[in-house]
Amino acid sequence: MKLVFLGPPGAGKGTQAAVVSQALGIPHISTGDMFRKAMREGTPTGLKAKAYIDQGKLVPDSVTIEMVKERLSEEDCKNGYLLDGFPRSLYQAEALAGFSQPDAVVNIAVADEKLIARLSGRRFCPKCNGTFHVSRLADEKICPDCGAELVQRADDNPATIANRLSVYHEQTSPLTAYYAQKGLLKEVDGDRPMGQVSADILKALAVEV
């Protein structure tokens, strides 16, 4: 199955994508994770992306589209994939249509007020890639899964969060209508416990668990 996950920053796309890709046995392809890895490794893509990501802007299409196209051409994507964070604009959606057609698009909806609270309290484990909210951590600094030291993503600061939300509303949110018109859209309420959101997504995709 070829899947696209849509939703505002902080909707829980990454968390849900990890669960669903595992349940379906398809690779989870997160453009945000790919850029963060490229930045850590100092690759040309990472160097180009950094200034945009730090400001909460979209990385230029010339960089992003090529990166996704290459990734989807790899062997492990033969039987499907779950794209998380791409497409993020109508232009990117049209580009994707030129090299791969999704079978379904899941939109995880959450109101802005909730997103700001979620993003500003978000912590990340650089060792096991886990994401946690401070309200659910016994110790704000320690990963409950592997014990490594948690960090805050550089783009989870108030100014950058505000930019990311406005970019989402201007450029990404029109994609729900775009995919609804193609008959591909599945709407899921993301403002519910994590396990219920996963169950709703699998149900919407008509996957037995």
Which position's Cβ is nearest ligand ADP? 32
Q: Which residues pair with 83 in a beta bridge?
A: 4, 29
Burial of 123 (0-12, 13-18, 19+ CB in 10 A): buried
Position of tokens 């993020």? 88
What radius of gyration do the chain's Cα atoms show? 16
71 belongs to the catalytic site: no
Q: Please pick, from the candidates 4, 19, 53, 175, the single residue that binds ligand ADP as defined by CB under 6 A.
A: 53
Q: Which residues pair with 131 in a beta bridge?
A: 124
By CB under 6 A, residue 88 contacts ligand ADP: yes
> Which of 118, 122, 123, 186 is the catalytic position?
122
**Residue numbers 147-166 binding ligand ADP by CB under 6 A:** 155, 164
Catalytic annotation present for 118 = no
Among 64, 55, 92, 69, CA closest to 174: 92
Per the annotation, the verdict on 78 as an active-site residue is no
Residue placing its CB nearer to Zn ion in the complex, 148 or 184: 148
Closest approach, Cβ 109 to ligand ADP, in A, equals: 14
Which is closer to ligand ADP, CB of 119 or CB of 143?
119
Kindly indicate which of the ranges 11-19, 91-99, 144-152, 162-170 contains the residues binding Zn ion, using the contact rule CB under 5 A.
Answer: 144-152
